Chain A
Amino acid sequence: MPSDPLVAQHVLEFPGGYTRSTGPVVGRFLTELRERRIVGVRTGEGRVLVPPLEYDPATGDPVTDEYVEVGPAGTVTTWTWVGEPLGAHPVDVPFAWALIALDGADTALVHAVVPEHPKAMRTGMRVRPVWRERPTGHITDIRHFAPEVTRIVSPVRAEYRLRAGGSLGVFLAGVERGVLLGGRCERCAKVYVPYRTFCPECGGPIPDTLELPDTGTITTFAINNLPDPRAPEVPFVSAYILLDGADLPMIALVAGVPAHEVRQGMRVRAVWVPESERTASMANIRWFAPTGEPDVELS
């Protein structure tokens, strides 16, 4: 686009910046800042002004030459959020301007606060300065203030190697073939699935496997609102399913029906992955889906 000859860009700038004398009071504050200390000055009436002024704003009298180290922590008294920082702002991430009453000061310092999250910003919050790597004696030696540490996140992680042997290996070998294996207790005649070699109730032996159908009844269920990679969608349903012929339910996902339509007594059948994709894993059963049969009365 051709430029308009009657429009001109005009910049007002003092090349290299404007050199200013600080005087003893502001200079003391900035010198201490270079040492990562924040000082205020005491007025004749005993108040501590931070940042220091040459005069008491309440009376106009000169301040004393007593300097007091304050902070570095302080309390936010007022703040306003800046969602889109400007180039001249001290940080380039969203932040809050705040008035900060540093511990030991009677006035508030204006500076930027960078919380972990906008919602963490609040009046009364405790903050501490985050210093520039090489302070030079400038108000921006404090890069910004950050919330005091009130909690940490502790990583917890340990690795294990599991081996499906014994009765679980037998059960999973059945799942690989597309069959659910259980077993009947010789003493109390209860049928358990997955297959196990002894009865958890009476301790009696279960010498043989028993093939169970992949149909059953929902005895109870839960609607889950947190995503799970195995589930088809959110919310999803996990349910206790009593396989036909078994005496104890097993836990599985339920799909193929809106979560709010799942109910106790609903008849379901396992949805298997195609034969070519099967392994010795419960992932062979995607989930259970309603069969459409009438509900079962649960005792």
Chain B
Amino acid sequence: MRDVAIVAFAQTRHTGHDTGLSEPELILPVINEVKERTGLTRFGFTCSGSCDYLAGAPFSFVSALDALAAWPPISESHVEMDAAWALYEAWVRLQHGDIDSALVYGFGKTSLGDLRTIMTLQLDPYYLAPLGLDQLSYAGLQAAALGAEREELDEIVRRSRADGRANPYALDLPDPEGDGLVAPPVTDGAAAVVLAAGDLAGRLTSSPAYIRGLAHRIEPHYLGMRDLARSVSAADAARAAGVGKGPVEVAELHAQFAHEEIILREALELTGDTVVNPSGGPLAANPVMATGLIRIGEAAARILDGRNHRTVAHAAGGPCLQHNLVTVLEG
């Protein structure tokens, strides 16, 4: 295995509404920011994560390439997933050994449509999607399966929203009212990360955030085939990534609903000493398809700026935490 590190991270100041920026206009500032920060203008590999259903247009990621200065032709790929999986692809590509740098970015404008029903389109077309099972519905089923106390759930939302207010990139959201399921906010935003391998990492920054573990696992798609109260795949990914090999100072979890944080804490075997989602997490800003990459970026940023030595990031995809990716970062 080659040493691969995150050497730069940038994200937009996310908004809760459509500002009118096109996707390339949204991406360009964060691409430029990581280029300036590393001094790199060309990368051995570029990979992005996005979802056509958010824009309602096929191959919407292609137009986003306009923000990259992709000529002469670059080596480029895309995942129709959260950009955390684009980072995974880039990490694998760097393991090949012939290139030393990679640019990873993700973006999403959830303000364009109704995310609650758009997420229905990720369900299987035979058994679940035809029922119109929407995002809140399947999250509600998982919350019921877990059966957590209302107070504990409310406290997670309150803490996330308060942390989000202290994070200049997240949304400024009031404490929730009412006693129902709190949905993640509508969010437009983008993020970018630069990976560097071998000696290059140390030349680009004084404190690279080394990826010491990176793994993802998936569970059956159909909700009725799983124990929704637990995340077996997150636990497996955490073990494979080596989360438990040392103390975890900070964990950034891709928990879009409060009950998901409880399930993930247990799956990752986090102790009370671990600070969870100091950025505010997805309950404070949820630019879908960038949210998972932002978790990795936030966890890396704390090592890049010397605040922490060992952090963990988690990203999720699919209904009810079906697919989980865990990253262990060390200074």
Which of A6, A22, A30, A86 has the most chain B CB within a 10 Å cutoff?
A86
Count chain B CB atoms within 10 A of each CB in A20, A98, A108 and give the residue with the most: A108
A90-B131 contact given A80-B141, A107-B224, A107-B225, CB 8 Å threshold: yes
User: Which of B132-140, B167-175, B266-274 is the contact stretch?
Assistant: B132-140
**Interface bits A171-203 vs B (CB < 8 Å: 1, else 0):** 000000000000000000000000000000000
Question: Please, how many angstroms separate the alpha-carbon atoms of A11 and B138 in the complex?
Answer: 24
Bound Cα distance A110, B137 (Å): 11
The interface bits of chain A over 12-52 (1 if a CB of B lies within 8 angstroms of the residue's CB, else 0) are 10000010101000100010000000000000000001110
Interchain CB contact under 8 A, B140 and A80: yes
Q: Is the CB of B126 within 8 A of A139?
A: yes
- Residues from chain B with Cβ under 8 Å of A81 in the complex: 140
What is the distance, in angstroms, from B22's C-beta to the closest C-beta of chain A? 12
Task: Tell whether, in the assembled complex, residue A80 and residue B126 are in contact, meaning their CB atoms are under 8 Å apart.
Answer: no
Taking the nearest CB of chain B, how far is it from the CB of A83, in angstroms? 9
- Asked whether, in the complex, the Cβ of B127 is within 8 Å of the Cβ of A20, the reply is no
CB closest residue in chain B, given A23: B126
- Interchain CA distance A79-B223 in the complex, whole Å: 12
A140 to B129, CA, bound (A): 11
List 4 tightest A-B contacts by C-beta distance, closest first. Answer: A88-B132, A80-B140, A108-B224, A57-B220
The chain B residue sitting closest to A18, CB to CB, is B125
Residues 24-66 (chain B) with a chain A CB within 8 angstroms: 53, 56-57
18 interchain pairs (CB within 8 A)? Answer: A11-B56, A12-B56, A18-B125, A22-B126, A30-B126, A86-B132, A89-B131, A90-B131, A97-B133, A97-B140, A99-B145, A100-B224, A108-B223, A109-B224, A110-B131, A110-B224, A111-B131, A139-B126
Is A138 among interface residues, defined by CB-CB distance under 8 A? yes
Whether a CB of chain B sits under 8 angstroms from the CB of A78 is yes
A77 to chain B: closest residue by CB: B145
4 additional A-B residue pairs with CB within 8 Å, beyond A12-B57, A26-B127, A110-B222: A18-B125, A51-B224, A107-B222, A112-B131
Asked if B20 is at the interface (CB within 8 A of a chain A CB), the reply is yes
Closest chain A residue to B219, Cβ basis: A57
Give every chain A residue within 8 A of B145 (Cβ-Cβ): 77-78, 99
For residue A51, give the distance in angstroms from its CB to the closest CB of chain B: 5
Binary contact readout A93-130 vs B (1 if CB under 8 angstroms, 0 otherwise)? 00001111000000111111000000000000000000
Q: What separation, in Å, do the CA atoms of A57 and B222 have in the docked complex?
A: 9
The yes or no answer to A251 lying at the interface (CB within 8 A) is no
**Residue pair B132, A53 in contact (C-beta under 8 Å):** no
Q: Whole-angstrom distance between the alpha carbons of A250 and B130 in the complex?
A: 67
Known contacts A89-B131, A99-B224, A110-B224; decide if A79 and B141 are in contact (CB<8 Å): yes
A6 and B20 contact, CB distance less than 8 A: yes
Given contacts A80-B143, A99-B223, A109-B224, contact A140 B130 (CB under 8 A): yes
Q: Which residues of B lie under 8 Å from residue A82 when comparing CB positions?
A: 137, 140
- Cα distance A112–B141 in the bound complex, in angstroms: 12
When the two chains form their complex, are residues A139 and B117 in contact, meaning their CB atoms are under 8 A apart?
no
Residues of A within 8 A of B219 (CB): 57
CA distance A100 to B128 in the complex (A): 14
Please give the number of chain A residues whose Cβ is less than 8 angstroms from any Cβ of chain B in the complex: 38
How many residues belonging to B are interface residues under a CB distance threshold of 8 Å?
31
Give Cα A287–Cα B56 distance, bound, in whole angstroms: 72
Report how far A53 CA is from B219 CA in the complex, Å.
14
Contacts of A138 in B (CB 8 A): 130
Q: Are B126 and A57 in contact (CB under 8 A)?
A: no
Q: Which of A51-100 contact B (CB under 8 A)?
A: 51, 53, 57, 77-82, 86-90, 97-100
Residue B144 interfacial (CB < 8 Å) = yes
- Could you tell me if B131 and A26 are in contact, using CB atoms closer than 8 angstroms? no
Closest Cβ of chain B to A279, distance in Å, is 55
Shortest Cβ gap from B232 to chain A (Å): 11
Q: Which residues of B contact A26 (CB under 8 A)?
A: 126-127
Inter-chain CA distance A18–B121, complex, in Å, is 13
Whole-angstrom CA separation of A75 from B68 in the bound complex: 54
Q: Is the C-beta of B120 less than 8 angstroms from some C-beta in chain A?
A: yes
Q: Which residues of A contact B222 (CB under 8 A)?
A: 51, 53, 57, 107, 110
Provide the B179-192 mask, 1 if CB < 8 A to any CB of A, else 0. Answer: 00000000000000
Would you give the 0/1 interface string for A216-228, flagging 1 where the beta carbon is closer than 8 Å to chain B?
Answer: 0000000000000
- A54 → chain B, closest Cβ, in Å? 11
Inter-chain contact B126/A88, CB cutoff 8 Å: no
Q: Given A99-B141, A110-B223, verify A51-B127 contact (CB < 8 Å).
A: yes
* A230 interfacial contact with B, CB 8 Å: no
User: Pick the contact of A79 from B116, B131, B138, B144 — CB < 8 Å?
Assistant: B144
Closest Cβ of chain B to A127, distance in Å, is 14
Select B132's contact among A11, A12, A57, A90, beta carbons within 8 Å. A90
Distance in angstroms from B239 CB to nearest chain A CB is 18
Could you tell me the distance in whole angstroms from the C-beta of B195 to the nearest C-beta in chain A?
Answer: 31
A260 at the interface (CB under 8 A from B): no
| B116 CB contacts on chain A under 8 angstroms | 86
Instruction: Give the distance in Å from the alpha carbon of A88 to the alpha carbon of B136 in the complex.
Output: 13
> Knowing A88-B132, A109-B224 touch, does A78 contact B144 (C-beta < 8 A)?
yes
Asked whether B126 lies within 8 Å of A110 as measured between CB atoms, the reply is no
